[in-house]
């Protein structure tokens, strides 16, 4: 929005006359004041886009008037004029919130340049304000996070309570439940709106690179460090950093994250200087961090630092009432993205989708809908379009599933424990999970002929997560 009306306040009549004539010639409406008190009355009763104030006037001085302007109309831009070109005046004026500072005498070209500069600043402010409103509107929880089940309503309430503050939040939920969406909703409804939102998946980056990703590095810190690089904490300064899958973070790095939380500063790899950072931390995990703390795989002090306000996301199988709404949302989204006519599900297909357990949660549902939209040429999606979805009610298992799991447990524990009642604390959970994960991932990779993108899609997990699991589990990928 361009400047329309300007206030000029100066006790010298000649200065008021010169400025008024020059500004009116440019098409601006100009009001004049001979002292600070008169200027204050005009500011209270009129709306101005710019005020040009002399620093020394009868009544309120320019600096005193500047303080009042900041209280009354904080969006009014103020330029201070003075005949004393002292460093003290310049620093004091800018410290109190002046937009600019000029010394007398000055050419009218200087005023033209300042007015042009103010115009650009106002336009930029207007754009930023508009963008903030757009982002805030777009990331309202009820618009980006779909579901009206009791579990989701509790999540909405928590977001509303924690978003305005800088409190640390830990989001817990299975893979594919939408943890990053929750983190973004918190950021875009906070006072940090308009500042950076930086996300980092701790499981997707090799351990040896994770520290430099988080904290950056200095030139020459290691082979290949040809220039300084800012880490995610510095990139997020003033905003929010989202640490996804923080349960996969190595113990030695957890200590440095704890220090960044406590001291609000970081040290780049290869550097010695502490760098102050102002960030809000939102962390997420699909693991049980309390169990990891018990197994000494996660620092207890870091866990309590992160778990100030926990948000627990229920898996999709526990909020099946949200599935029809989610299906409708993903149908519209997929059709819009693909620029094809809107498609619908038949009631039978919707029942089939609602009965499925969705081990990959919302991400798996979205991919399933998108796949059906792409492959079907019919405006109505039927049961046949979701042939890969085998519906089963909660609690039901395919025949033999429990027996197979019992077999895995029995095989793994045989020889280690003679009696389950005498079993001590151990890593049974991790051992069993590994036994289930390896054959499952190997089987899917075999069926997709080593295509990791397709395998991750079928499993309902992120491609980077799959790559990490392949590496950690020592799975050999054979490609045809």
User: Residues of the chain whose pLDDT is less than 70?
Assistant: 1-2, 84-90, 123-144, 390-435, 479-480
Note the pLDDT of residue 404.
45
Residues in the chain: 480
Report the topology of domain 139-314. Rossmann fold (3.40.50)
Note the pLDDT of residue 107.
82
Note the pLDDT of residue 271.
85
Same fold, 139-314 and 320-386: no
Q: What is the dihedral of CA 102, 104, 109, 113, to 10 degrees?
A: 10
Instruction: Compute the C-alpha angle 254/256/262, nearest 5°.
Output: 105
Contact 322, 153 (CB under 8 A): no
Note the pLDDT of residue 429.
62
The answer for residues whose C-beta is within 8 angstroms of residue 270's C-beta and 6 or more apart is 217, 218, 220, 221, 222, 225
Sorted by where each begins, the domain ranges of the chain are 5-133, 139-314, 320-386, 401-473
Instruction: Compute the C-alpha angle 147/242/150, nearest 5°.
Output: 20
Q: Which CATH architecture group holds 401-473?
A: Orthogonal Bundle (1.10)
Report the topology of domain 320-386. Helicase, Ruva Protein; domain 3 (1.10.8)
**DSSP character string of 52-87:** EEESS-SSS-HHHHHHHHHHH-TT-EEEEEES---H
pLDDT of 268-315, one tens digit each? 988 888 899 999 999 999 999 999 999 999 999 999 999 999 999 999
Note the pLDDT of residue 76.
87
Note the pLDDT of residue 427.
54
**DSSP character string of 145-205:** S---SHHHHHHHHHHHHHTTS---EEEE--TTS-HHHHHHHHHHTSTTTTS-EEEEETTSS
Task: Please indicate, yes or no, whether the overall pTM of this predicted structure exceeds 0.85.
Answer: no
Report the topology of domain 5-133. Rossmann fold (3.40.50)
Instruction: Give the percent of the chain with pLDDT over 90.
Output: 41
């Amino acid at each position: 929005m361009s400047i329309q009306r300007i206030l000029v306040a100066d006790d010298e009549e000649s200065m008021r006359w010169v400025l008024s004539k020059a500004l009116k010639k440019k098409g601006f409406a100009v009001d004049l004041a001979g002292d600070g008190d008169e200027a204050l009355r005009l500011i209270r009763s009129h709306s101005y886009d710019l005020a040009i104030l002399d620093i020394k006037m009868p009544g309120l001085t320019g600096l005193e008037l500047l303080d009042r302007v900041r209280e009354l109309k904080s969006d009014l831009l103020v330029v201070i004029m003075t005949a004393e070109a002292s460093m003290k005046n310049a620093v004091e004026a800018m410290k109190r919130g002046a937009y600019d500072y000029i010394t007398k005498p000055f050419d009218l070209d200087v005023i033209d340049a300042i007015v042009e500069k103010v115009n650009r600043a106002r336009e930029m402010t207007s754009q930023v304000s508009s963008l903030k409103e757009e982002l805030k509107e777009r990331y309202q929880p009820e618009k980006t996070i779909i579901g009206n089940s009791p579990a989701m309503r509790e999540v909405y309430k928590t977001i509303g309570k924690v978003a305005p503050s800088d409190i640390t939040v830990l989001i817990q939920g299975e893979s594919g439940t939408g943890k990053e969406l929750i983190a973004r909703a918190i950021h875009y409804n906070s006072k940090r709106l308009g500042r950076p939102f930086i996300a980092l998946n701790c499981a997707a980056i090799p351990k040896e690179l994770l520290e430099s990703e988080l904290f950056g590095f200095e030139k020459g810190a290691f082979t290949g460090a040809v220039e300084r690089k800012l880490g995610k904490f510095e990139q997020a300064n003033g905003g929010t950093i989202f640490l996804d899958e923080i349960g996969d973070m190595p113990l030695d790095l957890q200590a440095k994250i704890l220090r960044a939380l406590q001291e609000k500063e970081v040290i780049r790899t290869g550097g010695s200087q502490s760098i102050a950072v102002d960030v809000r931390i939102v962390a997420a995990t699909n693991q049980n961090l309390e169990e990891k703390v018990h197994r000494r795989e996660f620092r207890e002090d870091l866990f309590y630092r992160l778990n100030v306000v926990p948000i627990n996301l229920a898996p999709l199988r526990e909020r099946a009432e949200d599935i029809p709404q989610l299906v409708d949302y993903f149908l519209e989204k997929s059709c819009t993205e693909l620029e094809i006519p809107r498609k619908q599900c038949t009631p039978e297909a919707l029942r089939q989708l609602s009965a499925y357990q969705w081990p990959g949660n919302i991400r798996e549902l979205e991919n399933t809908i998108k796949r059906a939209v792409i492959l079907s040429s019919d405006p109505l999606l039927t049961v046949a379009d979701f042939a890969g979805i085998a519906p089963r009610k909660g609690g039901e298992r395919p025949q033999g599933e429990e027996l197979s799991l019992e077999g895995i447990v029995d095989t793994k524990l045989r020889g280690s424990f003679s009696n389950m009642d005498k079993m001590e604390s151990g890593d049974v959970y991790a051992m069993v999970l590994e036994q289930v994960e390896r054959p499952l991932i190997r089987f899917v990779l075999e069926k997709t002929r080593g295509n990791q993108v397709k395998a991750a899609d079928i499993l309902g997990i992120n491609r980077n997560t799959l790559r990490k699991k392949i590496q950690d589990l020592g799975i050999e990928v054979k490609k045809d």
